[in-house]
Structure 1
Amino acid sequence: MLPKTAVGALALFSSAPTVLAHWTYSRLIVNDAVVGAPWQYIRHHNNSNNPLTNANGTEFRCNIGAQPSETYTVRAGDELGFSVDEHFGHPGIQQVYLSKAPEGVAAAEYDGVGGWARIYSLTSAPKNASGDGSDDEEEVLTWATDNIQSFRFPLSASTPPGEYLLRAEGLALHAAHKRDNAQFYVSCAQIKVVAGNATAGARGEPGPLLPIPGMYRGDDPGVLIPVFWSYLTNYTAPGPPLWPEGTVEQHEAKVL
């Protein structure tokens, strides 16, 4: 039997990484800078840095108790992003969804009941990133999100003007080999998009659109993984096709 001091130390060691690896998205990035104070343009929820494991409730849109924030004006074609106070300490991915408020409805008044388009996906790091020359197709995956504190992505120049919810979604996979054990971290920024350099003919409504909740099921590929995460050799991110058509999944993070 271990002495009490050893048991206590073991418990502390085993629990600390779980707590420290959690995160919240509290800051919006526009082009090359963080804008505003924490939560100024992101809906402040009351879930602290805890994950969601149930994708079937309305809280899956912007998190539990999320309250309207201020709305930041951006141009179609700007580079946007999110930063966190902690770091992305769990293995997994980052994705971004966009939902347009109905005409005449401000982002602050919009509950996200409309459809959501997937506009960004950051998944596994490039294989053989170490440059060892290996061509082994069975090489296990590493993650482009590992220990970073921010990521940036382009807001398509084709994005129509209007007010939107911009939803950051982190999907942690360390327990996702068991159904309903994937961990989701979500927050919504409020943005107003004004015309960029795209011509009117180049604009198009984001899509395909899916509802939240209803976007994912517990057994969807990417939400439920076939083996423990450290044995994964390939991965398919959940969600509809990326918008605009031709947008590709990213394997390296662009950080601030």
Structure 2
Amino acid sequence: MISKTILYGLTLASSISTTLGHWTYSRLIVNDEVVGEPWQYIRRHNNSNAPLTNVNSTDFRCNVDAQAAETYTVRVGDEVGFGIDEHFGHPGIQQVYLSRAPEGVAAADYDGSGGWARVYSLTSSPTNSTNSSSTNDEEEEVLTWATHNMETFRFALPTSTPPGEYLLRAEGLALHAAHKWAQAQFYVSCAQIKVVAGEEDVTNNLGADVREEEEDLGPLVTIPGVYRGDEPGVLIPVFWSFLTNYTAPGPALWPEGTQEQHVVEQL
């Protein structure tokens, strides 16, 4: 018979092991620095560092019971990103979605029910590692991940982003159990930003502003609705350490021509 002490120890060890590798996003990065305090510009949620697995819940937008934060002003072309507590702890990818609040609605009052554009995707590293555990006669090259142990990431806010107030949504997708239905783990937080014209704007001789033409965001998706749960990239065909190719889920990246990234830019 197992003693109560041993049983308690096994239960505690199991509980601890389920949280290892989990993370959340609590800090906004603009250009070369973390701005403000943790959660000052990120909507604080009540989900600690636990993952989301239900892609059909409204919690999938900004996480569980996310509360409005302050809004930080950025310029088009600025580098924006997130700080991660503690670090990206599972194999997988990092993506970012952007949603503009309706005209006359502040980001703090926006519930994220409008359209979202995918503006950033960080996936596999540019070089693969060798899967030494392969049972095949010939070793297979498998994917490694650019997100491995990253603590921050950032990317350039498109210069064609229309001015306005936005939710900027970080979405980390952990794949270590994603070969099973509804076991892909999503880690989500939303920052609130106000986008204004860039410092590089100049005035021509006629007094008109000269700037890169603004583009409507798109293709747009709704959240929930962006994923079904069975598409490539969310439900993977084999255990992650045997993956030799990967297709990131989501709509086409915006603006048109934006490329998937394979090297992370950290602070």
TM-score by length of 1: 0.91
CA deviation string 1:44-88 (max 9, x = no partner): 000111100001011100001000000000001000010112011
Matched, 1:244 2:255: yes
- What's the counterpart of residue 226 of structure 1? 237
Aligned in 2, Cα 1:126/1:9: closer, same or farther, shift over 3 Å?
A: farther
Secondary structure (helix, strand or coil) at the match of 2:154 reads strand
The partner residue of 2:214 within 198, 203, 211 is 203
Aligned-residue offset at 1:19: 1.3
Aligned in 2, Cα 1:201/1:149: closer, same or farther, shift over 3 Å?
A: closer
Instruction: Write the distance in 2 (CA, Å) between the matches of 1:223 and 1:144.
Output: 17
Aligned-residue offset at 1:148: 1.0
- What's the counterpart of residue 90 of structure 2? 90
1:189 corresponds to which letter in structure 2? A
Secondary structure (helix, strand or coil) at the match of 2:142 reads coil
2:258 corresponds to which letter in structure 1? T
Q: Identical aligned pairs, as a percentage? A: 73
Checking the alignment, whether the CA contact within 8 Å between 1:173 and 1:183 is kept in structure 2 is: yes
Instruction: Write the distance in 1 (CA, Å) between the matches of 2:180 and 2:7.
Output: 28
Instruction: Write the distance in 2 (CA, Å) between the matches of 1:142 and 1:6.
Output: 38
Checking the alignment, whether the CA contact within 8 Å between 2:24 and 2:48 is kept in structure 1 is: yes
CA deviation string 1:25-53 (max 9, x = no partner): 00000000000000000000001111000
**Which runs of 5 or more residues in structure 1 are unaligned?**
131-135
Matched, 1:57 2:57: yes
- What's the counterpart of residue 124 of structure 1? 124
Checking the alignment, whether the CA contact within 8 Å between 2:75 and 2:197 is kept in structure 1 is: yes
Instruction: Write the distance in 1 (CA, Å) between the matches of 2:71 and 2:255.
Output: 23
Secondary structure (helix, strand or coil) at the match of 1:202 reads coil
- What's the counterpart of residue 191 of structure 2? 189
Instruction: Write the distance in 1 (CA, Å) between the matches of 2:212 and 2:33.
Output: 31
Report which of the two structures shows the higher radius of gyration computed on alpha carbons: 2
Secondary structure (helix, strand or coil) at the match of 1:234 reads coil
Secondary structure (helix, strand or coil) at the match of 1:187 reads strand
- What's the counterpart of residue 69 of structure 1? 69
Matched, 1:172 2:174: yes
How does 1:14-33 map onto structure 2 within 5 Å? 16-33=16-33
CA deviation string 1:147-179 (max 9, x = no partner): 111111110011010000000000000000011
**Which runs of 5 or more residues in structure 2 are unaligned?**
131-137, 202-209
Q: CA RMSD in A?
A: 2.2
Matched, 1:212 2:212: no
Instruction: Write the distance in 1 (CA, Å) between the matches of 2:5 and 2:158.
Output: 56
